[in-house]
Copies of this chain bind each other. A is one copy, B any other.
């Protein structure tokens, strides 16, 4: 099997060129990528091993597993020390390694492979490169958005009176999987874990979670304290659905809200405020805009509406209203008050101004957008109003 899937066309050469350009700006001679997400970005395929990219944009693929990958510049290895043998005489003066992701012991071992080289951190560089999506990537994300929307449109049909949040979530999982969702919810780093997404009903939305998600939930077990907890879905409750949109290695992030019976005016008003924030930010978020300005604008609209105490959680508040998304759910840019990120054309961001209303549940929507010259283009086009379940 060719290491670069043929469907990738010239995409990989273009990515290598962008990575090389980013390295040159930092005085780096070579970058060694080792995490599955970065290997997937650099080749279009997950394998176990390393991608080594030099300042001229050439890549060498050191593959441990699987044993059936071939193609130009593929070197089969059993252990990282064999990288040094291949590079003998062409050792970089400065090599960038994923210091922000790879385990300490792993980095020490790689440092000795590149003995004598100065080691830099590849993580911020590759994260920045990955934050600007190519047409190819945008197209994959658009496909996700279409399937994501198709799956959500069937949620109403599987609701039955007397269901618990978990029972409904299991049916939503099945809808998504049958629509082609891979299920996997890829997260960079070690601050979050989740099974396939979050569905929050009623008061459970008030429960703070250990994870760095926008919303919490008690979860079913102390070992995974997030999301649905077995609550009965009752009249007057909302059900917030924020489930996995990974259909092809990329993922869209989309949240929609359902209700049983009538819900309070406060909840309806907060939901509309979330939609209004989206409408405003869609126009503001042109390339060059500071990410923090989007946060500030959202916060000022929330304050104007007198909804601050419910915004982004009750007992514990999330510190952001949006984030980059692509191969992983927590990419750049971060839409937060202290973010230094500046929007670029080709960023793909999920905006999720949400509220938790006491006794009712969570409201507000999340959409995934492409940053275009004239503002945001929505990739997740399901209806945004609160949908009644009956």
B residues less than 8 Å from A245 (CB atoms) = none
Count chain A residues whose beta carbon lies closer than 8 angstroms to a beta carbon of B.
65
Contact A182 B208 (CB under 8 A): no
Known contacts A48-B211, A190-B35; decide if A224 and B182 are in contact (CB<8 Å).
yes
B residues less than 8 Å from A221 (CB atoms) = 182, 248-249
Does A373 lie at the interface of the complex (its beta carbon under 8 Å from any beta carbon of B)?
no
Can you list 10 A-B pairs with a CB-CB distance of less than 8 A?
A5-B222, A64-B210, A66-B209, A67-B208, A101-B103, A103-B190, A105-B121, A170-B177, A182-B224, A223-B246
Does A30 lie at the interface of the complex (its beta carbon under 8 Å from any beta carbon of B)?
no
Does A174 lie at the interface of the complex (its beta carbon under 8 Å from any beta carbon of B)?
yes
Query: Smallest CB–CB gap between A351 and chain B, Å?
Result: 22
B residues less than 8 Å from A193 (CB atoms) = 36, 46, 184, 186
Contact A316 B101 (CB under 8 A): no
Contact A182 B40 (CB under 8 A): no
B residues less than 8 Å from A99 (CB atoms) = 103-105
Query: Smallest CB–CB gap between A257 and chain B, Å?
Result: 23
The closest CB in chain B to the CB of A140 belongs to: B223
- Interchain CA distance A76-B271 in the complex, whole Å: 33
Interface residues of A in 135-170 (CB under 8 A from B): 166-167, 170
Interface residues of A in 50-69 (CB under 8 A from B): 64-68
Does A79 lie at the interface of the complex (its beta carbon under 8 Å from any beta carbon of B)?
no
Contact A103 B102 (CB under 8 A): yes
Does A353 lie at the interface of the complex (its beta carbon under 8 Å from any beta carbon of B)?
no
